[in-house]
Amino acid sequence: MIDLDEYPITTENSESYLNKRQLLDYRSEREECLEWLLTFGKKPVEATGYAPGTVKPRCYRMDRFYRYVWELEDGYTVNLTHEHADSWMNHLARRDVSATHKRNCMKSLMMLYKWLHHERGLGEWEPEFRFSADSSNQPRDYLTMEERREIRDAALEYGSVPSYNNLTSAERDRWKQYLSQRFEKPKSEITPDDWERANGWKFPSLVWTSLDAGLRPIEVERATLSWVDADNSVLRIPKEESSKNTEHWVVGLRDRTAEILRKWCQQRRTYPQYDGTDTLWLTRQRNPYGQSALRDVLHRLCDIAGIDIEHRQMSWYTIRHSVGTYMTREEDLAAAQTQLRHKSPETTMKYDQTPVEDRRDALDRMG
List, as one string, the DSSP characters of 137-176: -S-S----HHHHHHHHHHHHHTT----GGGS-HHHHHHHH
Distance between CA atoms of residues 79 and 99, nearest Å: 28
- φ/ψ region of 277 (left if φ > 0, alpha if ψ in -120 to 50, else beta) reads beta
pLDDT at 235 over 50: yes
Q: Range with the lowest mean pLDDT among 53-57, 69-73, 165-169?
A: 165-169
Q: Which of 348 and 138 is assigned the larger pLDDT? A: 348
What is the chain's mean pLDDT, rounded? 83
What residues contact 239, with CB distance under 8 A and at least 6 apart? 245, 246, 247, 248
Q: What is the pLDDT of residue 1?
A: 62
Q: What is the pLDDT of residue 66?
A: 96
Phi and psi (nearest 5°) for 192? -55, -25
Q: Give helix 202-213 / helix 316-330 axis angle, nearest 10°.
A: 50
Q: What is the pLDDT of residue 206?
A: 95
What residues contact 229, with CB distance under 8 A and at least 6 apart? 235, 236
- What's the CATH number of domain 145-365, 3.10.20.740, 1.10.357.10, 1.10.443.10, 3.30.1490.20? 1.10.443.10
Residue 116 has, within 13 A of its CA and on its CB side, a CA count of 19
Q: For 146-158, what is the mean pLDDT?
A: 89
Measuring CA to CA, which residue among 220, 211, 212, 277 is closest to residue 243? 220
What is the CA angle 214-220-224, rounded to 5? 120
Residue 92 has, within 13 A of its CA and on its CB side, a CA count of 28
Distance between CA atoms of residues 206 and 210, nearest Å: 6
Q: For 184-199, what is the mean pLDDT?
A: 77
Q: What is the pLDDT of residue 8?
A: 85
Q: Range with the lowest mean pLDDT among 1-5, 82-86, 164-168?
A: 164-168
In terms of average pLDDT, the best of 29-43, 177-191, 243-257 is 29-43
Distance between CA atoms of residues 272 and 270, nearest Å: 6
Measuring CA to CA, which residue among 71, 73, 57, 160 is closest to residue 105? 57
Q: For 142-152, what is the mean pLDDT?
A: 88
Q: What is the pLDDT of residue 83?
A: 96
Q: What is the pLDDT of residue 51?
A: 86
Measuring CA to CA, which residue among 139, 119, 292, 115 is closest to residue 214? 139
Q: Give helix 145-157 / helix 291-305 axis angle, nearest 10°.
A: 100
Residues 41-48: contacts with CB within 8 Å, 24+ apart? 41/111, 41/114, 41/115, 44/118
Going 278 to 281 to 286 to 290, the CA torsion angle's sign is negative
Q: Are 45 and 326 in contact (CB under 8 A)?
A: no
CB atoms closer than 10 angstroms to residue 225: 15
Instruction: Tell me what percent of the residues of the chain surpass a pLDDT of 70.
Output: 84
Q: Where in the chain is the domain with CATH 1.10.443.10?
A: 145-365
pLDDT at 354 over 80: no
Residue type (1 letter), 48: T
Per-residue pLDDT reduced to its tens digit, 238-285: 876 665 545 678 888 889 999 999 999 988 887 888 999 999 999 988
Q: Which of 206 and 131 is assigned the larger pLDDT? A: 206
Q: What is the pLDDT of residue 330?
A: 65
DSSP 8-state assignment for residue 122: P
Q: Range with the lowest mean pLDDT among 8-12, 190-194, 212-216?
A: 190-194
